[in-house]
Amino acid sequence: MSSTLHPMLNVAIKAARTAGTIINRAALDVESVRVSVKQTNDFVTEVDHASEAAIIDTLLTAYPDHAIWAEESGKTPGRHGGADHVWIIDPLDGTTNFIHGFPVYCVSIALMVGNRLEQAVIYDPSRNDLFCATRGRGAYMNDRRIRVAKRIGLRESLLSTGFPFRPGDAFQTYLQMMGDVMPRCAGLRRPGSAALDLAYVAAGFTDGFFEVGLSPWDVAAGALLVTEAGGLVGNFTGESNFLEQKECLAANPKIYGQLVSVVGKYSKFASAGDKAKLRQSLPAQPAGDGSDAPGGDDFTPTEMAPPPF
């Protein structure tokens, strides 16, 4: 398969494997890794920074005019007309897992050309699993074509999600949403890496995924994997323009529609009537729990602006 890969995908794979080597080396002595706190329960390590630097160096060595949108270093505009090619990078998705030695984390790299995702790589260094996709050419895991699962009933489905973890997140609303989902499915998992969750939907290991509070670098590569594997990706109300909307829903087409019917009313884009019903059903929140903080009600965190390239 490697001989038929798109040249830009080949470079992204090289970058991801280089980062994976850095991550695996650090994982041998994770206790010695320096950790900083970006905000409560949101960590960054020297490994994140080293991994990101290696990825960017590899990409810009091959394509010096391309733009970069990376989790740790932010946005770097492209030169000489290369701004329409933007690499969206998460150098270590699942940092909290990594610093605890919990082996669920990955490298995520996507290429957006114009406003379309064109290339995607997700690399799990602890398992040496490589997921990749080029628009229109299908999705692959370790050189094997992958497809979303074929289950048609939500009741038989295994789903993954992510829990809110920042002060001001809508904890009670999320608990309500999980309370709606859990009795309707076969199981709900919280692995801790949204990018890998999406790759697992693409591979058919899980049947669906939903989470709020996500950034473009968490979901860009995984979204292309899912769609190239025959699945659907969008926000909680089922609309496909989700990349910067801070919420993501992915599944095979049958399960997707059923999940929208359950979680759609929890979307910040849901109708006022749906939100009013939800508020009435929620227990009162005690003072000082962060419910008045930005993002503490109806999932309304600040929207991310598109890259100014």
Helix (H) or strand (E) holding 16: helix 7-27
DSSP 79: S
100-145 pLDDT per residue, tens: 999 999 999 999 999 899 999 999 999 999 999 999 999 999 999 9
What CATH number has the domain spanning 154-281?
Answer: 3.40.190.80
More confident residue, 239 or 281: 239
* 271 and 303 Cβ atoms separated by less than 8 Å: no
pLDDT band at residue 42 under the 50/70/90 scheme: low
Task: Tell me the percentage of the chain whose pLDDT exceeds 90.
Answer: 66
More confident residue, 48 or 274: 48
Write b or e for each residue in 26-35: b if 16 or more Cβ atoms lie within 10 A of its Cβ, otherwise e. bbeebeeeee
- Give the residue ranges of DSSP H helices in 125-242: 171-181, 194-203, 216-228
Fold assignment, 2-145? Fructose-1,6-Bisphosphatase; Chain A, domain 1 (3.30.540)
* 158 and 207 Cβ atoms separated by less than 8 Å: yes
Instruction: Tell me what pLDDT residue 198 has.
Output: 98
Helix (H) or strand (E) holding 270: none
For the chain, give every domain's residue range: 2-145, 154-281
SS3 (DSSP) at 299: coil
pLDDT at residue 153 above 60?
A: yes
CB neighbour class for 158 (10 Å; exposed up to 12, middle 13-18, buried from 19): middle
pLDDT at residue 272 above 90?
A: no
Q: How many CA atoms lie within 13 A of 125 on its CB side?
A: 28
